[in-house]
Amino acid sequence: MDSNKLWILSLCLLVMVLGTKATAPKKPVDVPFGKNYVPTWAFDHIKYFNGGSEIQLLLDNYTGTGFQSKGSYLFGHFSMQMKLVPGDSAGTVTAFYLSSQNSEHDEIDFEFLGNRSGQPYILQTNVFTGGKGDREQRIYLWFDPTKNYHSYSVLWNLYIIAFFVDDVPIRVFKNCKDLRVKFPFDQPMKIYSSLWNADDWATRGGLEKTNWAKAPFNAAYKGFHIDGCEASVEAKFCATQGKRWWDQKEFQDLDAVQYRRLKWVRDKYTIYNYCVDRKRYPVMPPECVRDRDV
């Protein structure tokens, strides 16, 4: 066997071993903050490093802060590399989410709920469609999110909303319009992030309060990746719909290996799933039929 054939065979075997598609084409991670984002409030509570390729949000007993994307997007792949508030972060919430502007809004949420020192962070995800939310799922992360940067991503197309942590799928919300469940498809969303005080609910249901003696709290960001169809707020469809990578068949659902990873997260790290909360929902919400595919 010549060297070229051997190389091709080795590559094929590697693909078979890895057994999974990429969640998106690889992108540079040093996109500067100012290319796609602007501060929204408390500008003096945002610090810039490395020419704006890295920032920190600060929270003290006066205010938190936040930022948003310059554009609005209808479908795509959106990610942040984040390093969360270290130490005693009880009462704080670091959020990364997409949201439309109307009263019956659509929203896709990552919310990182702080905790007392030594206790694990809780990552809460939620999906709002047509103004209806209450679809919380909560997991413990399998690493310390305060020590190093980790990537948190959303893939959103006409078929699924998929949440990823370091390319590991942690949740999939499928288009269930056939079950009369609304799905985000005609309201462009901006991307937001914020660090704020929510000690009335964030840690143990509000039992643990923010220790302001530990302030200021800070969360760090880099890798401000946006790959989406930019649209006006009046848009009802994406002009490039069907032509972008996230519309292609391989991204319309997870593959078998990704589902196995999702099941691993579900089995080992999920601490709350509204789909199985019979006290709150005596009748299972219709979209949860698809959630049980895991």
Q: Which residues are catalytic?
A: 107, 111
Site of tokens 């009263």:
103
What is the rounded distance in angstroms from the CA atom of residue 58 to the CA atom of residue 55?
10
Q: Tell me: cis bond preceding 216? Omega within 30 of 0 counts.
A: yes
Q: Which two three-digit tokens encode residue 209?
A: 């309060």
Return the sign of the alpha-carbon dihedral for residues 249, 70, 125, 235. Answer: negative
Collapsing DSSP to helix, strand or coil, 262 comes out as: helix
Please give the order of strands across the beta sheet that includes 65-69: 37-41, 65-69, 190-197, 92-99, 107-113, 122-128, 137-140, 270-273
28 burial class (0-12, 13-18, 19+ CB within 10 angstroms)? exposed
In 25-101, which ranges are continuous DSSP H helix? 33-36
Would you tell me how many other CB atoms lie within 10 Å of the CB of residue 111? 19
From first CA to last CA, the distance across the chain in angstroms is 42
Q: How far apart are CA 134 and CA 273, in angstroms?
A: 11
Q: Is 136 left (phi over 0), alpha (psi -120 to 50) or beta?
A: beta
The rounded distance, in Å, linking the Cα atoms of 223 and 279 is: 40
